[in-house]
Amino acid sequence: MISEEIKVANVKCSGCANSIQTKLMHIQGVSKVEVDIDNDTVNVEYSEDSIREELISKLHAMGYPEATEENGLLLQLKSYASCMIGRMNK
């Protein structure tokens, strides 16, 4: 099992955290997802190295890019949409 902390941008609230947890847990091989809103991190446990790329891609598509990526307006807007969905699904 691989355990990793991924530093991301645009995490603002529990709605964001709920969306991230829900989406990442649907990836086959992911066994645990915890979001630390205060530190802008996503802690993930997964079974294979190849899953990391899918995690980063899914986070990016939701508007939560890895902190090392460029964070433009479009990604920020996507994160607001993901946040609203997370709040509605709580």
Q: Are 5 and 63 in contact (CB under 8 A)?
A: no
What pLDDT sits at residue 5?
96
Helix (H) or strand (E) holding 4: strand 2-7
Q: How far is CA 51 from CA 3, 5, 30, 69, 72, in A?
A: 12, 14, 8, 19, 25
Against a cut of 0.75, is the pTM above it? yes
Beta carbons of 59 and 42 less than 8 angstroms apart: yes
As beta bridge partners, residue 2 has 46
Higher model confidence: residue 11 or residue 69? 11
Q: Above 90 in pLDDT, residue 74?
A: no
Among 12-21, 52-61, 70-79, the minimum mean pLDDT is found in 70-79
